[in-house]
Amino acid sequence: MARDTSVPDDDASSETNGDDRRNGGNESLLGRRSYLTMAGATTAATLGAATATGQSVSGDYDVIEVSAGERFTKRLEEGETWGNKLIDITASGAEYLIHTQGNSCTIRNVGIRGVWDGHDGSPLVAYATDPNGEVLVENVYLGDGSTAENYPAGNPGVFVPPSHAGTVTVRNLNYQDNPSNAVYGSSPGNPQEHPSPGAGGTVVIEDSYSSNHSSSGFRVGTDDSRVENCVAVGGNRGGWAYFNNPTYRNCDFSGANIGDIYGGNGAWSLDGVATIEEVYGSNPGGNVDGSFAGSARRTRPEEVDGVPTTPEEAASGGSSDSSSSGSNEDTAESQLSNLLLVDGSSSDVTRYEFTVGGDVERSTAAGASIDDEDRIDGSTVNGTVADWKDAFRFSGDLAELTVDGPGTVLVNGEEVDPADYGEQLPHVLEVSGEGTTMSYEITVDGSIELVADDEPAAEATTVSGSTAQSSITDGTQTYRFSGALTDVTFTDGTAMITVDGERIDPREYGAYEMFPHALVIDGTDADGPTTYAFEIDGAVVQSDYQNASIDEEDVVENGTVRGGVGNWLDAYWFDGDIADFRLRGDAAVDLQYNARDR
């Protein structure tokens, strides 16, 4: 399908010829993290250039799921109001383009779900060529980030092109983790020698949140433009007066590398001066008229009135509800006075779990990301980090803490030892036999250990990091584990399983079946080691069938198996057919269909 490329010539690309590269634009993005993308479901409904679903949901908004490699396009006509949309771009290469073509139109209540991994450009363009035109962009969530790392790569949250002559108001925007600007609104101030001279339009940014943009948060460039009651965290600049003399009022900017507020560009004859009134921050840079009123008071999107914190919240018209503009005495932060930061490592994934004595919520403090896959259950949190940070504000004391991996944990800025907080493996899982031999596999997203006086081998139990495999007839096998129980698979028989004393239904956690076929790779009579790989078009699990070993170095993933044998046997139960099989060595292979009937 041909891609939709109908973006005007005055797109953001016209202002990337040397502007930021002269002012640290190649700084790496703070808190950059990796994301997995998933192909989205599609239906026959077609919207713009993308195959998408227009599903009606209970929050009075439509869900538009963009297919992999496609683009959803919406162009607003004169007088049009468009919104209450959740645009899902989780599919690989899925994109959107929202463009105001009319001089008087409104974009309201739009949430973008998914990390942007498409082309660099300007997916949301807002402008009015009529000096009397007014365009409003309100209650928009763009907080899931981008795979781009350094400016000028990436996409501005809202781009205002040079031809803008009227007034664009951006209100209640949440834009995070993208190298470009949260609002790229300086182009209307382009001087006459610029390849795209500006039309002098006004850009007003109100009650918005920006985090980790290596260019800047709120960039404007005309005298009448202003930024009010906004918060920017991290990146290179919080507010950037690129041209002329825009005003920043009642804002909180913190953690910027070049300047929390910055005036000027260093590239054009027309420089910028930032006028600041009741702006809180530190390290001003460039041309600034005024002084900071103190250190930044607010750092989280929840502390800005009206800012949506999830795509669903934006699409449904919901938002955060901060009762104060700039004072943190009545904010959630004052109630959740402690900060726990999990600082990951690029060397490996770190899994963590902790329990506090009060309430807990996610935070973007210290450049942390917000990950909806981290689970908060009451006062207990389970999550994972790699080369990024997770942060949480909480009340009460830290009661339990388990960390599996190279990451470190800091509480209120001080590194803590997980051994000082409760049990390392706080949960107890028991498997009770019911008189007939059964085999099982249990997986958690933390660590699991067998609790027994005997060695695991004596009980025919294999424990490998986060997975336990065993057989049982009578009695009870007990494990301690951290994290959450994620999978229970029975390959023979049934058993009763309890977690922390409460019986669970294994069918809610994984496969509850006995696979009929067996595949045995026998290396006992081979002259040397043998490696193998095969693919099943169904399900497959490791097995101790015929007294085979279960080797934690063998890989079983999504129907694909890779392993090796020496003078031992490897065995697998499976259901379906063998789609591919490769063997290097002279081990014997025994394929037994319906082996349980023999």
Task: Give the CATH number of the domain where residue 564 resides.
Answer: 2.60.40
- Hey, CA dihedral for 401, 406, 409, 414, is it positive or negative? positive
CA 2, 111, 375, 179 dihedral sign is: positive
pLDDT digits (tens, 9 = 90+) for 322-336: 443 333 434 444 467
**For residue 361, what are its two tokens?**
């919520």
Indicate whether 409 and 437 sit together in one domain.
no
Average pLDDT of the segment spanning 381-389: 85
User: Which stretch of 376-390, 453-467, 513-527 has the lowest confidence by average pLDDT?
Assistant: 453-467
Q: Is residue 1 part of a domain?
A: no
473 and 523 together in one domain:
no
Give the pLDDT band (50/70/90) at residue 301: very high
The pLDDT value recorded for residue 7 is 31
Residues 233 and 378 in one domain: no
pLDDT of residue 15: 35
pLDDT above 70 as % of the chain:
82
Is residue 481 domain-shared with residue 590, that is, in the same domain?
A: no
Residue 442, in any domain of the structure: yes
pLDDT at res. 22: 29
- Statement: residue 386 has pLDDT above 90: no
The DSSP line for 142-161 is: ETT-BS--STTSS--SEE--
Q: For residue 341, what pLDDT is reported?
A: 92
pLDDT at position 28, please? Answer: 25
Instruction: Tell me how far apart the alpha carbons of residues 137 and 82 are, in angstroms, rounded to a whole number.
Output: 10
Examine the domain organization and report whether 180 and 155 are in the same domain. yes
Q: Is the residue at 116 inside a domain?
A: yes
pLDDT band of residue 19 (cuts 50, 70, 90) is very low
Q: What is the pLDDT of residue 438?
A: 79
Q: Give me the percent of the chain exceeding a pLDDT of 90.
A: 43
The yes-or-no verdict on residue 48 having pLDDT over 50 is no
Residues 212 and 136 in one domain: yes
Domain end (from 258, 287, 303) = 303
Evaluate if residue 426 carries a pLDDT over 50: yes
* Whether residue 380 is found in the same domain as residue 495: no
Query: Stretch 166-188: mean pLDDT, rounded?
Result: 93
Q: Does one domain contain both 380 and 405? A: yes
Identify whether residues 297 and 172 lie together within a single domain: yes
pLDDT at 364: 74
| pLDDT bucket at 502, cuts 50 / 70 / 90 | confident
What does the alpha-carbon distance between residue 55 and residue 33 come to, in Å, rounded to a whole number?
31
Q: How far is CA 163 from the centre of its chain?
A: 35
Q: End of a domain among 448, 483, 508? A: 508
Q: 324 in a domain, yes or no?
A: no
Chain segment 278-295, per-residue pLDDT in tens: 999 998 999 999 999 999
Does residue 41 have a pLDDT over 70? Answer: no
Q: Is the pLDDT of residue 392 over 80?
A: yes
Does this model's pTM top 0.85? no
Q: Give the pLDDT score at 195.
A: 87
Residues 6+ apart with CB under 8 A from 212: 29, 30, 31, 32, 176, 177, 178, 233, 234, 235, 367
Residues 488-515: b if buried by 16+ CB within 10 A, e if exposed: bbbbbbebebebeeeeeebeebbbeeeb
One domain for residues 483 and 536: no
On average, the pLDDT of the chain sits at: 81
Residue 352 belongs to some domain of the structure: yes
pLDDT of 367? 67
pLDDT of 203 over the 70 cut: yes
3-state secondary structure of 12: helix
Domain stops at, among 420, 437, 456: 420
> Is there a single domain that holds both residue 351 and residue 373?
yes
Query: What per-residue confidence (pLDDT) applies to 159?
Result: 95
Tens digit of each residue's pLDDT (9 = 90 or more) over 218-234: 999 999 999 999 999 99
Q: How confident is the model at residue 492 (pLDDT cuts 50, 70, 90)?
A: low
What count of Cα atoms within 13 Å lies in the side-chain half-sphere of residue 442? 31
> 479: domain range?
427-508
Query: Which of 18-27, 51-60, 97-106 is predicted with the least confidence, judged by mean pLDDT?
Result: 18-27
What is residue 473's predicted lDDT score, i.e. its pLDDT? 82
Q: Is the pLDDT of residue 375 over 60?
A: yes
Residue 30 falls within a domain, yes or no?
Answer: no
- pLDDT tier at 471 (50, 70, 90 boundaries)? confident
Answer whether residue 258 is part of any domain.
yes
41 and 143: one domain?
yes
Q: How many domains does the chain have?
A: 4
User: 45 pLDDT exceeds 80?
Assistant: no
Residue 7 falls within a domain, yes or no?
Answer: no
